[in-house]
Amino acid sequence: MPKETRNVRKQRLKNDLTAQLKRDGKLQSYWNDLVNDYLTFWEIKEKLKIDIERNGAMVIIKNGSQVFRKRNDAVVEMPKISKRMTDILEVLDIKSTIPDGDDEDDDY
């Protein structure tokens, strides 16, 4: 199965979020603006992941005659971006849509 492009994944994510907002009756533009903010952070997070994959957690810095290693800034920024994304999902009151299954057989 071919790998989904980033744009396809982003559109699917947007569709899922807006569908859940519609189910909850949140149709005002405020909610759509928050979804767009979330997707902007998602794009940033994807770019940070690529940076970490390409350059690793530590990067080599050349400054004149000095050469040293320092922490990749993407490693520091990624948790901050993830936190903001989580905050937006909490404001949107987005719930996991994973079905719980049949709970009747779970008597212990």
Give me the DSSP letters along 39-99: HHHHHHHHHHHHHHHHH-SEEEEEETTEEEEEE-HHHHHHHHHHHHHHHHHHHHT------
Exposure string of 73-102, with b = 16+ CB inside 10 Å and e = fewer, is: ebbebbeebeebbeebeeebebeeeeeeee
- Provide the whole-model pTM: 0.79
Question: Above 90 in pLDDT, residue 95?
Answer: no
10 Å Cβ neighbour count for 25? 8
Average pLDDT of the chain, as a whole number: 89
Element (H, E) at 36: helix 29-55
Specify if 86 maps to a domain: yes
Quote the domain boundaries for residue 61.
6-94
Specify if 108 maps to a domain: no
pLDDT tens, residue by residue, 14-39: 999 999 999 999 999 999 999 999 99
Q: Does the CA dihedral 48-52-54-59 come out positive or negative?
A: positive
Specify if 30 maps to a domain: yes
Specify if 36 maps to a domain: yes
Specify the number of domains making up the chain: 1
108: confidence class by pLDDT, cuts 50, 70, 90: very low
Specify if 60 maps to a domain: yes
